Amino acid sequence: MRAVVYKGKDKVAVEEVSDPKIEMPTDAIVKVTTAAICGSDLHMYEDRSSAKPGCVFGHENMGVVEEIGPGVTSIKKGDRVVLPFNIACGFCFNCTRGYTSACLTMNPKVAGAGYGYADMGPYRGGQAEYLRVPYVDFNALKLPGTPGDQHEDDFVLLADIFPTGWHAAVLAGVKSGDSVGIFGAGPVGLLAAHSCFLMGAAEVYLVDRAPDRLQRAQKIGAVPIDFSKGDPVKQIKEHRKSNKQLQEALREGEREKLTGVNCAIDAVGYQAQSGQDPKKEDPMQTIKWATQVLNPTGGLGLIGVYFPGDPGGPDEKAKQGIYEVPLGELWTKGISIGQGQAPVKKYNAYLRDLIIAGRAKPDFIVSHRLPLSEAPHAYEQFDKRGVDGGEAWTKVLLKPELDRASKAA
């Protein structure tokens, strides 16, 4: 089969690799219909992780079951499924408590396993024509409809990015009526905002500097904040102070102490740009801003990736995953902090049903739908946040079926 193979810094290729096989009775082979390129794939693409050449990328995958092992009971050949990026056993101490992102069985090195990702086990990714799925009865989420229908692009986002955006809001403690500041208006930040609104947030601020991302934020009802135009913390606080009804509702003593937001989300991670010099990186920039904008006793959700090792870190400490966190201000304010990968299985069935009901439409983040064969070009443009034909590269979906159709023609 053909698959997207990592070749080294800033390079992937679509190559022929061996077909996946049933290795355990509980396995299945899925014929991939759509696989997404995730922003976190770019950490590996840029050689900012421990990924080695030869790795098959792709942890956001969906398709149709082609073959099942003799121990599979609830999934059948021909079922349409989406696969959480977390590969989990379903029976270990963590899985039984809902922490499938920290499965103790599937990765011999650390807690937590995934498809085609650095340090997440010996599993190939699904930016390919076929994918082996371990423990398919537990890991696969069944979907209605047929490949290529109106929900194809919504459903593939259940593999990671939509549940991750939802988990970001959970980590930050978002509740009905809350004000939320989100740093990073990429796919995760946009879907975190979408999730916050579904949860009943009163207002959401999305901080970025890319015009296309800020436009998407505004279209879903968020307040876009362009940090290239000044301190985003001041912009958010000034916007809230300008809301006369809000200010009238606050008591004396509250107006100056509740100028920020109740919840904040870091949807950027360790490759954050410096607010002082966008040509440089400051791994703690978004956390600094989030700390400053949070009201006392607020909640901070860290959904952006922070690796224990970063070969391209801006200094020696960053290369070791050691960062200077503004702990004093966080502690003084009594800020609650949640962090870590999303346990996709915990949310994806509910989010699927929101899509089916028409309440959620996460595919608004999708900018490009391409054949698998165009993956090298897609990675190059997505990494540059390029613009092609007037459309910025926000979220890219790879569709092996387009290559199959082209061959058939």
Q: What is the pLDDT of residues 205-248, one digit of tens each?
A: 999 999 999 999 999 999 999 999 999 999 999 999 998 888 88
Q: Which structural domain, as residue segments, surrounds residue 71?
A: 2-160+344-408
Q: What is the CA radius of gyration of the chain?
A: 21
CB of 377 within 8 A of CB of 193? no
- The single-letter DSSP state of residue 398 is E
pLDDT above 90 as % of the chain: 82
* Amino acid present at 46: E
Q: What is the pLDDT of residues 107-145, one digit of tens each?
A: 999 999 999 999 999 999 999 999 999 999 999 999 999
Tokens of 348: 């994806």
Confidence label for 3 from pLDDT (cuts 50, 70 and 90): very high
Handedness of CA 47, 52, 54, 59 (dihedral sign): negative
Q: What is the pLDDT of residues 27-67, one digit of tens each?
A: 999 999 999 999 999 999 999 998 999 999 999 999 999 99
DSSP 118-142: TTS-S---SSBSEEEETTHHHH-EE
Q: Averaged over 78-86, what is the pLDDT?
A: 98
Q: Quote the CA–CA distance of 210 and 385 in Å, as a whole number.
A: 9
The confidence score (pLDDT) of residue 388 equals: 64
- Give pTM, 2 decimals: 0.94
| H or E element in which residue 205 lies | strand 203-208
Residues 332 and 353 in one domain: no
Residues 204 and 144 in one domain: no
The confidence score (pLDDT) of residue 19 equals: 98
What is the CATH number for 24? 3.90.180.10
- The answer to whether residue 310 scores a pLDDT higher than 90 is no
Residues 313 and 366 in one domain: no
Confidence label for 312 from pLDDT (cuts 50, 70 and 90): confident
Residues 152 and 71 in one domain: yes
Residues 18 and 123 in one domain: yes
The confidence score (pLDDT) of residue 391 equals: 74
- The answer to whether residue 389 scores a pLDDT higher than 60 is no
Comparing C-alpha atoms, which of 171, 242, 162, 257 is closest to residue 203?
A: 242
Q: Quote the CA–CA distance of 203 and 181 in Å, as a whole number.
A: 9
Residues 301 and 389 in one domain: no
The confidence score (pLDDT) of residue 367 equals: 93
Residues 179 and 118 in one domain: no
The confidence score (pLDDT) of residue 246 equals: 86
| Comparison of pLDDT for 385 and 17, the residue scoring more | 17
The confidence score (pLDDT) of residue 41 equals: 94
User: How distant, in Å, are the alpha carbons of 284, 300, 306 from that of 323?
Assistant: 7, 17, 10
Q: Quote the CA–CA distance of 257 and 280 in Å, as a whole number.
A: 33
Residues 78 and 203 in one domain: no
Q: What is the pLDDT of residues 248-288, one digit of tens each?
A: 888 888 877 888 999 999 999 988 988 888 888 899 999 99
User: How distant, in Å, are the alpha carbons of 12, 188, 384, 386 from that of 377?
Assistant: 9, 22, 11, 11
Residues 238 and 144 in one domain: no
Domain boundary among 308, 339, 370: 339
Identify the burial level of 376 via C-beta atoms within 10 angstroms of its C-beta, where 0-12 means exposed, 13-18 middle and 19 or more buried. Answer: middle
The confidence score (pLDDT) of residue 313 equals: 83
Domain boundary among 296, 311, 339: 339
Q: How many domains does the chain have?
A: 2
Q: What is the pLDDT of residues 140-154, one digit of tens each?
A: 999 999 999 999 999
Domain boundary among 291, 316, 339: 339
Residues 190 and 286 in one domain: yes
The confidence score (pLDDT) of residue 257 equals: 80
Terminal alpha carbon distance of the chain: 19
The confidence score (pLDDT) of residue 334 equals: 97
Residues 139 and 93 in one domain: yes
What is the CATH number for 269? 3.40.50.720
Residues 153 and 40 in one domain: yes
DSSP 139-169: H-EE--S-TTSTTHHHHHGGGTHHHHHHHHH
